[in-house]
Each structure stands twice: as structure tokens, then as C-alpha cells.
Structure 1
Amino acid sequence: MDYKDYYKVLGVEKTATTDEIKKAYRKLARQYHPDVNPNDAAAEQRFKEANEANEVLSDPEKRQKYDQLGADYQRYQQAGGGRGGQAGGFDWSQYGQGGGFGGGSPFGGEGEDFSDFFSSIFGGAAPGGRSTRPGAGSDYQAELELTLEEAYHGGPRTITVQGKNLRLTIQPGVADGQTIRLRNQGGPGRNGGPNGSLLITFRILPDAHYARTGDDITQDVPVPLYRALLGGEQTVETLGGPIKIKLKPETANGSRVRLRGKGFPVYRGEGKFGDLYLRLNVQLPTHLTEAERDLIKQLAQLRDEN
């Protein structure tokens, strides 16, 4: 049974930070995910290897023990890999919780459905064997793209993971990069253990009309020149529906209007919303008629006289 270099699997250095490890894992998970590579055994294997490496390296305690284990495991192999708890002058019982490989997982594992290497060393089984203790299944990773409007309103969506259609209800106000956990929707448990979870990360697509900052929204609003000069009422289409605003006379181009409680819904904050900021862009008229030109000339003449 060969030693598994989890750093090599993820393509990171042994000095990699936790964030670098997570980033490398997510990149591989997206690249080799079974949903992206259906019926591709090689991609599925790479996906499983990445999951296993992340399981160890993303946990500080597990990673520390794995690092301690590395060179000693190679010595163990070279000495013939004896089962008696000692080989090559090295006492493996210091990694177990009851002595040797049979004394429990040095990583506190519960026999998860990983490789023989993981199970034999980290899952409490003897070399060449598998743990018979119940263990939780692997977690699945998935991403779900939403428009800003879909993130605003929430609602039911269907996502396909491992060939299985799952229906979920999205809560209004989800953010880009936010991850939710669906328990019992991951890999099957081992030896009667519970299934893993499905972790869904939301990706909110950019919007041409609205800019979101936290729970606040900024929106550009075109205002006709005459309404900016004279003031009046204007209807604005927002994510929450049309609203009417009143403009003061002589409203300057680029003016901002803040509407409290008209922004993005606060995630799981019943009835709570951020603010809506309107940027007023005064629009110059085009394709003027002769009558309109005459009126503008009169205005210019009046302004010059004053």
C-alpha cells in the first residue's frame, strides 16, 4: 500500500496556508466533479483523491499528525510494513489511541469511505484491511448560479448532483460565495454510518442595472431634462417592483436619493431590507423639433439677459 502525498494531490507546497489549500481543493473539485465529467472514471478518481486530501489538510490537527506521520510511514514500508505495531524501529502506537493500527484513528476518524491508505492509517483498520466501524459519507460540493433578481426573490430551484435531482428552496438575500449545507444528501455512509452532506455555493451573476453592496443596492435612474429642471414625480422600476419618487426642482445631474428599506432583503431577516440608492442621470433631449429649438433659444436669451 503506497504512501499518499496529499500535498501533491492538491498541487500545493507543504507550507501552504489553509486558504491556499481550500482554494486548490475547490479548483480541483470543480474541474473533476462527476457532474462535469459524467461516466469518466479517471475524473471521478481524481475527485475522490482531492476530497481525501482536503479532509486531512484542511483540518489543522489532522494536518499536523499527517505531517508527523509522513517520513515514518515510508520507513515503515521499507521495513516490510509489519502488523505488530512496530517496524523499522518505529513505534506506530504513538499515533493510535490504543496502540498500533488497531487502537483507533490517530485523526479521530470514524472509518469514512476513503482509500485503503486513509482507512488503514487514519481510520483504525489494520494495514490491507478496511475499518468495520460506522463512518459518515463524503461531502459533495456543488455550485449554483443565480441572477441578482433570483437572489433577491429566492424561491424553489432544482439542482442535479451525482445524477440525482434535488429540489431546494432558496431564501431571499443569499450572497455571492455563500455556502449552504444539505444534510444527508452527500456520499453514502460506511458500515451503516450516516450519509454525508451536500455543500452548495451560490454564484451571483453581475447585473447591468443594479450594483449590490451587502444588503444595499445602487441603481442608475435616467431623468428627463425638463423634470430635473421643474421637479415632479417619476416612476422607478426596482427589484422589488415599481416605486414613485418626487424630484425637487433644479435637481442636479448625479444627485443621489436614499430610500431606506428598499434595498436587498436581509438573509433570514424576516421583513428586513437594506437601502436603495438612486443615482439621478439627467438626460439631454435629442432630435429636437423646430418648436423645441425656439423654446430653448428663448430660455437662453432670458438667461443671458439676467
Structure 2
Amino acid sequence: MDYKDYYKALGVDKNATADQIKKAYRKLARQYHPDVNPNDPEAERKFQEVNEANEVLSDPEKRSKYDQLGADWQRYQQAGAGGGQSAGGGFDWSQYAQGGGFGGGGEDPFGGADFSDFFGNIFGGMGGGRAGGTRARAGQDYQAELLLTLAEAYQGGPRTITVSGKNLRLTVKPGVEDGQTIRLRNQGGPGLNGGPAGSLYLTFRIEPDPRYTRTGNDLTQEVPVSVYKAVLGGEQVVETLSGNVKIKIKPETQNDTRLRLRGKGFPVYDQPGQFGDLYLRLSLSLPQQLTDQEKDLFQQLAALRNEL
């Protein structure tokens, strides 16, 4: 029976922390998940491989036993034996095997879980099993994405998504960011042998809005202002995500002037009542299709200021 390198499967160092192992597993599980790679046997194999590696390396007791097995296996290879030897080829597996030795006819320790014989014989009896060598195991974690407009991310509210043929209703909190992932417990695959259901990791995707640029919880919006209002001053109504706002334009306002509206930006996620700021960038809008009279007036103005 071949030795399996679980660290290599997750792409982490043997001294990796629990957090590094968790991050590596989540990344690979998303990459090779069957929902992302339908009808792809190689992706399915990789998905099972990273799940098995995570099952061992995320459990301190299993990881300790696995590390000891790896050290003994390495010493056996360095002594001159060929790598990947099966039981009986010179390496004493018996001290690691659960229930006495290795064999192809043993019962699946997870009652149908897609883990290897290597895993089943080494770890099948760990964790408090039921009769027959089975034990409770959490279901698979699912990955899904939810597309929102910027206005929907601003408002939040109820949404319904379909994951693996199941409709799931949830409430989106205001202020979610593009790429933000939340965990919904017990919304993944069903557990085995009475184990809990897996989790659903839901990633939000926010569609770009041509009116706004978002930076954290702050928004920037371009507001066109007529040259007359910029010169003489006045009031102007601006449409924001929270409703219309009336702003004052000071006389002789220059192009690209920035105004700050406190609390008119994006809601702060999971902090009700707190908002970022809205920055207005005033851009001068020049008149077009001038009449002869209007051109004459501009010429008079230019002459008064010696601009001709």
C-alpha cells in the first residue's frame, strides 16, 4: 500500500500552521469542487484527495500520528528500500494499522466515504466510531456565488439561491464587498452516519456601477455642473444611493472640485447605523450649439478679461 503525502496534496510545508492548512484546503476545495467541474473525473479525484488530506492535517491527533508514520517511512526509504512499498515489503505497518494490518477487503470506515485504503487502515478507528468501524462524519462543504448590484449590496435584504438543486433563502447584510465570503453552517452536503451537514461558503460578486467608485466604505461620484452655475454659484440636486441630496455650489467653483458628504457612503458591514462618506467630484459641463447671441456675449466677457 502506497504512502500518501498529505502535505504535498494541500501544497503546504510540514510546519504549516492550522490556519495555513485551512486556507490551503478552502482554496483547493473551491478549485476542484464537483459543482465547478462537472463530469471531470480528474477534478473529482483531486477534490477527494484534498478532503482526505484536510481530514488528517486539520485534526491534531491524526496529524501527530501521520507525522510519526512519515518519519518512519522516510527512514525506511533511506535504508535502501524502494518508495511506495506495500505491506510486507520490509516496512512495519502493523504499529499504525487500525484493527490489525492492511488489506483490500476491509469495511469502509466512513460507510461509503471516498477516502483511500491508506486512510481507512491508519485512521479508521480514530474519533469514536460506531459498530462495524463506522463513525459520524460531517458532510461536504459547498461553494456558491451570489451576484448583486451595487444598490442591492447597499440595501441588503432577503435573497434566494439554488445550491445542488436546493432553494436556500438568506438575508444579505448591507455593506457586503465584492469577493467577500460568508459561511452558512449546515447548508452543505448531508452528513454520514449521523454526522452534521457540511457548510456552504457563499461568495458575493458585486456588479460595477458606472455612477460610483467604491473604496472600502467610501464612494466617489462625478457630478457634472454647468459653467454658469460654477461661475455664479447655486444649488443642485444629486442622486445618491440613499436618495436625492441638494448641494450648494459656491461661486467661482473650479473644475474637479471635491465635496465630501459625511455618512452618505456605503454602510459598514455588520455595524448597523454606520456609513462611509460620499465624495462628489464636480466636473464643468461646457455649453454646446451656442447661438450667435450667446457667442457674442462670451466674446464680450472674454474682452473684458483680456482673454482674446
Q: State the TM bucket, normalised to the shorter chain.
A: 0.7 to 0.9
* 8 Å contact from structure 1 (residues 137, 194) kept in 2: yes
* 8 Å contact from structure 2 (residues 12, 21) kept in 1: no
* 8 Å contact from structure 2 (residues 179, 203) kept in 1: yes
Distance change in 2, residues 1:167/1:248 (3 Å): same
Among 240, 243, 255, the alignment partner of 2:242 is 240
Q: Which residue of 1 aligns with 2:2?
A: 2
Amino acid at match of 1:225: V
* 8 Å contact from structure 1 (residues 210, 218) kept in 2: yes
Amino acid at match of 1:290: D
**3-state SS of the aligned residue for 2:302?**
helix
Amino acid at match of 2:244: P
* 8 Å contact from structure 2 (residues 264, 275) kept in 1: yes
**3-state SS of the aligned residue for 2:182?**
strand
**3-state SS of the aligned residue for 1:180?**
strand
Task: Give, in angstroms, the shift of residue 33 of structure 1.
Answer: 2.5
Amino acid at match of 1:121: I
Task: Give, in angstroms, the shift of residue 114 of structure 1.
Answer: 5.3
Task: Give, in angstroms, the shift of residue 125 of structure 1.
Answer: 5.3
Among 159, 163, 184, the alignment partner of 2:161 is 159
* 8 Å contact from structure 2 (residues 7, 14) kept in 1: no
Task: Give, in angstroms, the shift of residue 26 of structure 1.
Answer: 5.1
How far apart, in 1, do the equivalents of 2:66 and 2:147 lie? 36
Q: Which residue of 2 aligns with 1:206?
A: 208
Q: Which residue of 1 aligns with 2:218?
A: 216
Q: Which residue of 1 aligns with 2:87?
A: 80
Which deviations, in whole Å up to 9, do the C-alpha atoms of 1:171-198 show, x marking residues without a partner? 1111223221111111221211111111
Among 79, 90, 98, the alignment partner of 1:101 is 98
* 8 Å contact from structure 1 (residues 231, 246) kept in 2: yes
TM-score of the aligned structures, taking structure 2 as reference length = 0.76
How far apart, in 2, do the equivalents of 1:221 and 1:187 lie? 49
**3-state SS of the aligned residue for 1:53?**
helix
What is the percent sequence identity of the aligned residues?
67
Task: Give, in angstroms, the shift of residue 65 of structure 1.
Answer: 5.6
Aligned-residue RMSD, C-alpha? 3.7
Amino acid at match of 1:301: A
**3-state SS of the aligned residue for 2:306?**
helix
Task: Give, in angstroms, the shift of residue 145 of structure 1.
Answer: 3.1
Please list every run of 5 or more consecutive structure 1 residues that lacks an aligned counterpart in the other structure. Answer: 94-99, 103-109
The within-5 A match list for 1:55-74 is: 55-57=55-57, 66-72=66-72
Please list every run of 5 or more consecutive structure 2 residues that lacks an aligned counterpart in the other structure. Answer: 77-82, 100-108
Residue 201 (structure 2) pairs with residue 194 (structure 1): no
TM-score of the aligned structures, taking structure 1 as reference length = 0.76
Q: Which residue of 1 aligns with 2:272?
A: 270
How far apart, in 1, do the equivalents of 2:219 and 2:303 lie? 42
**3-state SS of the aligned residue for 1:304?**
coil
Task: Give, in angstroms, the shift of residue 146 of structure 1.
Answer: 2.6
How far apart, in 1, do the equivalents of 2:245 and 2:261 lie? 10
How far apart, in 1, do the equivalents of 2:29 and 2:7 lie? 15
How far apart, in 2, do the equivalents of 1:124 and 1:235 lie? 70
Q: Which residue of 2 aligns with 1:107?
A: none
